[in-house]
Amino acid sequence: MLIQSVPLPVKPLRSFRLGHYVILTFLMSMLWVMTGPAAAHDLTGGDANFVGNNSGAAIAPFIYLGAKHMITGYDHILYLAGVIFFLRQLRQVVQFVTLFAIGHSLTLILAVAANWHVSEVLIDGIIALSVVYKALENMGGLDSLGRWKPDSRIAVFVFGLFHGLGLATSLQAMSPSEDGLFINLISFNIGVEIGQLLALSLLFLLFTLWRRQANFDRYAFASNTVLMCAGFVFLLIQIGNGLIPA
């Protein structure tokens, strides 16, 4: 398909309206409130202490922990950014993100409930590769596969399964007690969805605003190259974690 300038479906945004500022500020402050303390401390410090010590249902704390893990999980956020990069309609975003959410919820719940421990390094490596894959797909790198190109929706679901395993290993590393495990696990999952929603709202808003600018098409390819680079960096870090002795 020839790349040519396509008339934008929406009138270019010439000025920010007050509403945009309000939403943007609100979302940014929500994210800052959540990530500020988290960035200052090692995630597994105080949280691991709570989870390891805790026994019985603790719904609100686990919801919070789930949201915190999702928002500070940069590999998850980058993948989501890649997924919604070219999705102009909210309807499409909902479709893709729901598939991702179903995927990661399935494996998160199954792996923790069944006490299935997978190699954290391997899973995080695959998650890094999911970012690379999505960036490549966004760049059009898979178009030459023709009818062998994997369906985007199926790919998002399958990668969702792996992201869920990554979330599971994070939770398992904090040694949650068997007592109340299922309720806490569901709460954690709900928290993950809330965190996802927050991060996604901000991302979608930013993308929508950016797409109205004239330079979007020009920089879209370059941005996905940067995204791919980030994915490769994460991948190398996982390889380092796996091969380099402490």
Partner 1 sequence: MTTPDQHRSDKTRKIAIASTGAFIAALLVFIAVILPAEFDRDPLGTGEWLGLDQLNSATVDAYQPQLIPHKSDDVELILEPFQSLEYKYRLDAGSGMVFSWESTGPLYVDMHAENTGTENGGEASFRMEEDAESGMGVYTAPFIGLHGWFWENRTLETVVLRIKSSGFYVDATEFRSGGSTTSTPEAVFRN
- Taking CB under 8 A as the criterion, the residue among 16, 74, 219, 221 binding partner 1 is 221
Q: 176: burial class by Cβ within 10 Å (0-12, 13-18, 19+)?
A: buried
Which residue in the set 25, 28, 60, 117 belongs to the binding site for partner 1 (CB under 8 A)? Answer: 117
Q: Phi and psi for 139 in degrees, rounded to 5? A: -80, -10
Q: How far is the CB of 225 from partner 1 (least distance, A)?
A: 5
Query: Segment contacting partner 1 (CB under 8 A): 59-67, 80-88, 197-205, 235-243?
Result: 235-243
Task: Draw the binding track, 29-48, toward partner 1 (x: CB under 8 A; -: no contact).
Answer: ------------xx-xxx-x
Give the C-alpha separation, 54 to 178, whole Å. 10
Strand locations in 63-177 (E): none
- Decide if residue 219 touches partner 1 (CB under 8 A): no
In angstroms, the CA 31 to CA 29 distance is 5
Backbone angles phi, psi at 236, to 5 degrees: -65, -35
Candidates 4, 89, 144, 215; binder of partner 1 (CB under 8 A) is 144
Kindly state the number of chain residues that form the binding site for partner 1, as judged by CB under 8 A. Answer: 39
Q: Is residue 122 packed enough to be buried (19+ CB in 10 Å), middle (13-18) or exposed (0-12)? A: middle
Note the residues at the interface with partner 1 (CB under 8 A).
Answer: 2, 41-42, 44-46, 48-49, 52-53, 117-120, 135-136, 139-141, 143-144, 172-173, 175, 221, 225-226, 228-233, 235-237, 240, 244, 246
